[in-house]
């Protein structure tokens, strides 16, 4: 009886360790103001560990039981959380992919703890955190092309739009979508979806446009 109670405490300890690792991983995301923070990562790791423990040890009385079937459902089932985090803006800009992938990996950490692989799971959690930090600190890893919507009001005829497009092309910025609305004979409203190169300074670009005398207003 004491042996059974001791084993139950061991399983509870695994779940607690998974929860702690989820909290640590979530802290890194929280510090970057990501949608999924401490609570989400902690619950994902906790739930994954609990399900693995149940699937591995909860059906020991059933002969030839395949515990991997339930564990495999965690891998696919965690996708609904990731899908809720990924946001598509303006049909072109996507955010939340890294956080969704982090949740998926956190589930793997929890599953590993539930299976009793302490060294592997703790090492993986540390590696995951280091990877997240490195991807933001190291320039050639963190810099990626990004999409931004720019709105501006121009003073003058449509030829001013061509001047704006020429300025954008000189900065090696790609115009994905452009919308024009002629407010009056002297005013044109322009909306653009721009693809910025990885190392492009958006603020410097906006300031460069704002200095043009024919641009009445600009926002991004």
pLDDT tens for 187-220 read: 888 888 888 876 777 888 888 888 888 888 888 7
Q: What is the average pLDDT across 27-47?
A: 72
The last residue of a domain, from among 123, 142, 161? 142
Shared-domain flag, residues 106 and 155: no
> Same domain, yes or no, for 37 and 136?
yes
Least confident of 4-13, 34-43, 139-148, 201-210: 139-148
Task: Taking residues 104-112, report their average pLDDT.
Answer: 80
pLDDT of 89 over the 70 cut: no
Residue 204 contacts by C-beta under 8 Å, 6 or more apart in sequence?
Answer: none
Are 98 and 188 in the same domain? Answer: no
Greatest pairwise CA separation for the chain in angstroms? 89
Confidence of residue 159 (pLDDT cuts 50, 70, 90): confident
Per-residue pLDDT of 170-180, as tens digits, reads 888 888 888 88
Residue 64 pLDDT more than 60?
yes
Query: Of 91-95, 149-153, 193-197, which gets the smallest average pLDDT?
Result: 91-95
Q: How confident is the model at residue 144 (pLDDT cuts 50, 70, 90)?
A: low
Tell me: do 118 and 69 sit in the same domain.
Answer: yes
What is the domain extent for residue 170? 146-219
pLDDT tens across 23-33, in order?
888 787 777 66
What average pLDDT does the chain have?
A: 76
Do 137 and 185 lie in a common domain?
Answer: no
The residue to which tokens 């704002």 are assigned: 210
Residue with the bigger pLDDT between 67 and 90: it is: 67
Shared-domain flag, residues 201 and 123: no
pLDDT at 27: 81
Domain-ending residue, one of 88, 122, 142: 142
Q: What is the CATH number of the domain that holds 174?
A: 3.30.70.260
Comparing 128 with 72, which gets the higher pLDDT? 128
Count structural domains, the chain. 2
Average pLDDT over residues 115-143: 73
- Rounded to whole angstroms, the Cα distance separating 120 from 217 reads 55
Which position has the higher pLDDT, 106 or 62? 106
**Cβ-contact 198, 145 below 8 angstroms:** yes
Of the three residues 125, 142, 159, the one that is the final residue of a domain is 142
More confident residue, 86 or 120: 120
| Domain identity same for 21 and 116 | yes
Q: What is the mean pLDDT of residues 32-46?
A: 71
Same domain, 117 and 176: no
- Same domain (yes/no): 50, 128: yes
Q: Do both 26 and 132 map to the same domain?
A: yes
Question: What's the confidence (pLDDT) of residue 3?
Answer: 60
99 plus 168 within the same structural domain: no
């Amino acid at each position: 009886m004491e042996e059974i109670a001791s084993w139950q405490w061991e399983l509870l300890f695994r779940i607690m360790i998974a929860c702690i690792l989820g909290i640590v991983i979530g802290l890194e995301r929280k510090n970057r103001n990501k949608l999924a923070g401490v609570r989400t990562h902690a619950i994902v790791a906790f739930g994954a560990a609990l399900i693995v423990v149940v699937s591995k040890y909860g059906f020991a009385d059933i002969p030839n039981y395949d515990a991997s079937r339930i564990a495999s459902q965690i891998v696919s089932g965690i996708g609904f959380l990731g899908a809720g985090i990924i946001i598509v803006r303006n049909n072109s800009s996507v955010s939340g992919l890294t956080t969704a992938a982090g949740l998926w990996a956190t589930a793997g950490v929890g599953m590993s703890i539930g299976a009793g692989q302490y060294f592997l799971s703790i090492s993986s959690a540390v590696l995951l955190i280091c990877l997240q930090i490195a991807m933001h600190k190291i320039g050639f890893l963190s810099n990626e092309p990004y999409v931004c919507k720019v709105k501006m009001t121009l003073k003058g005829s449509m030829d001013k739009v061509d001047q704006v497009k020429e300025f954008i092309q000189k900065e090696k910025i790609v115009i994905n979508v452009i919308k024009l609305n002629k407010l009056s004979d002297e005013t044109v409203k322009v909306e653009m979806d721009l693809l910025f190169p990885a190392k492009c300074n958006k603020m410097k670009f906006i300031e460069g446009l704002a200095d043009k005398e024919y641009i009445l207003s600009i926002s991004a």
